[in-house]
Amino acid sequence: MTATKQPLHIVLACDDIFAMPLAAAGASVLRHVSSPERVVFNIIDCGISARNIDRIRRSLSRKGATVRVMKFTTPVPTSWLQAGIIPSVATFARLFVQDYVTEDVRAVYLDSDTIVCTDIAPLVEQLADGMLVGGVSDDPAGGVTAKGLERLAKWFPADAEDSPYINAGVMVFDLGAWRSAGLSQRFKELMADTDAMQFADQDAINIVCAGRIQTFEPRWNVQTHHLPSLDGAILDDPNASPRVIHFTHRPKPWHGQGDVGMSRPFYEAIDETEWKGWRPTGLRLLVPKLRRGWRLARQRPTQMLKRLVGKG
Ligand SMILES: [Mn+2]
């Protein structure tokens, strides 16, 4: 088997609310990759409806790509949901990919609020041997180290002073190395040791993988809330040229007038899925809003009440 024919593993995870953006993120990979038939999508299902799983399968199996769907069964602490630290258990799925994708391969994890604008395959090649994970510094200036974040001091290993603090939205994992290092167990221990971390899974990755974290060029994960303007000019700026756009700014493109100008690649991708032609309209926005409200009411009744009486 030649190197170019090896499978390119992409990992995505979401609950039902993010089913459509997940399909767009996956479709954006297929739009730009040079050999789509190499792509293996590993979808970690954190509560996706049967109908939406079917739509995701049909959307992403185009051009010869493989789609595998695995149900997320790892127990995670619900206290983090109730505390409002995480919006959904889906955010924890990235910590346990090695329990779901069992081949000793490298894999690209993508948040469901990302859109890939280039061939993603070269990113996988960039991860150096011995590294557990690669990602982009969470700070656009690149200066933040995990050690410098006071909230992490309690857990941070003393022998990894200069380890960077990466954003968890776009990462490359060496899954064989994750298994050898017993990371699933270490994440479980860390999660049991604390009620909450400010950035949940992201803090956990930066602590547990400290010393074996590689940073990539910032353009591999351009967080929209860092952009000075959201007018879309950055898409055509050869110096900036995002390779992956991460819609961290709210509202997101599927929330209406979200990330004005930066939304174009999202709509181009959605038009290559079973959601083809989807555009935000009043009624289409109302349904997810009600669903998010219902989820909040179930998980965090106190916070919901505060919001209703205007103190949230
Ligand atoms: Mn994200």
Is 286 found in the same domain as 212?
no
Domain count, the chain: 2
Ligand 1: distance of its center to the CA of 114 in Å?
7
Ligand 1: distance of its center to the CA of 109 in Å?
11
Confidence class of residue 196 from pLDDT cuts 50, 70 and 90? low
Q: Is 173 helix (H, G, I), strand (E, B) or coil?
A: strand
Residue 49 lies in a domain: yes
Pairing type for strands 133-137 and 213-215 reads parallel
Pairing type for strands 114-116 and 244-246 reads antiparallel
- What is the predicted pLDDT for the residue at 191? 85
**Terminal-residue alpha carbon distance, the chain:** 57
List all residues 6 or more positions away from 225 whose beta carbon is below 8 Å from its beta carbon: 248, 249
- What is the predicted pLDDT for the residue at 110? 98
- What is the predicted pLDDT for the residue at 259? 58
Least confident of 109-123, 196-210, 261-275: 196-210
Confidence class of residue 79 from pLDDT cuts 50, 70 and 90? confident
Ligand 1: distance of its center to the CA of 2 in Å?
34
- What is the predicted pLDDT for the residue at 182? 97
List Cβ<8 Å contacts ≥24 apart for 125-131. Answer: 126/172, 126/214, 126/216, 127/172, 127/174, 127/214, 128/214, 130/177, 130/212, 131/174, 131/177, 131/212, 131/213, 131/214
State the average pLDDT over residues 273-298. 80
Query: What pTM was computed for the model?
Result: 0.87
Ligand 1: distance of its center to the CA of 5 in Å?
30
Is 195 found in the same domain as 120?
yes
Tell me phi and psi for residue 106, to 5 degrees: -90, 145
Ligand 1: distance of its center to the CA of 147 in Å?
23
Is 74 found in the same domain as 184?
yes
Ligand 1: distance of its center to the CA of 246 in Å?
6
- Domain end residue (candidates: 184, 216, 248): 216
Token match 């767009």: residue?
24
- What is the predicted pLDDT for the residue at 128? 97
Residue 276 lies in a domain: no
Rounded to an integer, what distance in angstroms lies between the CA atom of residue 140 and that of residue 281? 33
Range of the domain at 185: 3-216
State the average pLDDT over residues 41-51. 97
What's the pLDDT tens digit per position in 212-233?
999 999 899 999 888 766 566 6
Confidence class of residue 210 from pLDDT cuts 50, 70 and 90? very high
Residue 308 lies in a domain: yes
Is 188 found in the same domain as 55?
yes
Ligand 1: distance of its center to the CA of 3 in Å?
30
Over 26-63, what HEC string results?
A: HHHHHHHCCCHHHEEEEEEECCCCHHHHHHHHHHHCHH
Rounded to an integer, what distance in angstroms lies between the CA atom of residue 102 and that of residue 300? 35
How much is the mean pLDDT over the chain? Answer: 87
Cβ proximity of 29 and 244 under 8 Å: no
More confident residue, 261 or 174: 174
H or E element, residue 14: strand 8-14
Cβ proximity of 66 and 26 under 8 Å: no
Of all residues in the chain, what percent carry a pLDDT higher than 90? 56
Ligand 1: distance of its center to the CA of 63 in Å?
26
Token match 């493989």: residue?
66
Residue 35 lies in a domain: yes
Ligand 1: distance of its center to the CA of 113 in Å?
5
Cβ proximity of 304 and 295 under 8 Å: no
Ligand 1: distance of its center to the CA of 61 in Å?
24
Token match 């590689």: residue?
214
